Chains A and B, each alone.
Chain A
Amino acid sequence: MMIRNSAGRKAVHALLALLAAGACGGCASLGVEPWERELLAAPGMEIDPDPLETALNEHIYFSKEASTGGLGTAGGGCGCN
């Protein structure tokens, strides 16, 4: 559908300009300042917050699913690895 009306065209241009300006400035204030990192520094925010639990989970996965590949040698799913 063509917009023939010049006022309508102007409105579309204004809208596009507004969207472009928003897109340019939208990322201007991304990120947290160094003094605002309290939550990010919390132990629960670590990639591996509980290494012991991760090790246990991996051992169970390895024991149960090794025959499907992906985690080393084959096993029978007996949990004895």
Chain B
Amino acid sequence: MMKRALLTTLLLLAAASAPAEDEPQWLGAGELDLAKYEGQVVLVDFWASWCKPCKESMPWLSAMQEKYGAQGLRIVAVNIDKKLDSALAMGDLLHEDLVLVHDPKGKLAGEYELQGMPSSYLYDRRGELAASHVGFLAAECDNREAELAKLIGSAEAEGHDDSE
């Protein structure tokens, strides 16, 4: 009887501590391996909850992931908040397919030698750096999307090329 109660308690504790299925998974700064996404267009975006333009960019990034994810776009959102709680508070803005990385000590940020916030780096399907941007302006969204679409090779990019 005692054993049964103990087992039940342990099972309950395990269930309570296990992450929920729909809870986003965060990678550590050392766990990010861009080689995993070879063959996909990868956008690495550095953001923080204290950075206003970063907050403004999140809905756009999520929209891009939603729109082009199936065609091979993978957005890696690297958060540099000291505490993950600050980033989690913005959970509603994060698309479920974003690759989420937490870099509280600025390890990746230092490696990329960021010049400002937010900063983003766009890699083509061969893994070569195609473009980088510092800051976020809503007025530039169309150009940024065209740049993405061109690399992805979507019909939308062809449309942009025709109009030029």
Give chain A's interface residues, CB within 8 Å of chain B: 33-38, 41-42
Contacts and interface: CB of A to CB of B under 8 A. Distances in A.
B82 A35 contact: no
A41 B110 CA distance: 19
A41 B106 CA distance: 16
A38 B109 CA distance: 14
B37 interface: no
Given A33-B109, A35-B46, A38-B48, 16 more contacts: A33-B106, A33-B110, A34-B109, A34-B115, A34-B117, A35-B48, A35-B80, A35-B106, A35-B109, A35-B114, A36-B106, A37-B117, A38-B50, A38-B81, A41-B50, A41-B51
Contacts of A41: 48, 50-51
A33 B111 CA distance: 12
A73 B72 CA distance: 67
- Looking at chain A's contact residues, the main secondary structure is loop
A35 B29 CA distance: 14
A37 B106 CA distance: 11
A34 B82 contact: no
Contact of A38 (B46, B82, B116, B119): B82
Contacts of B51: 41
Contacts of B109: 33-35
Interface string B122-145: 000000000000000000000000
Most buried by B among A33, A34, A35, A37: A35
Nearest to A43: B50
Interface string B70-94: 0000000000111000000000000
A33 B48 contact: no
Contacts of A35: 46, 48, 80, 106, 109-110, 114, 117
Contacts of A37: 50, 117
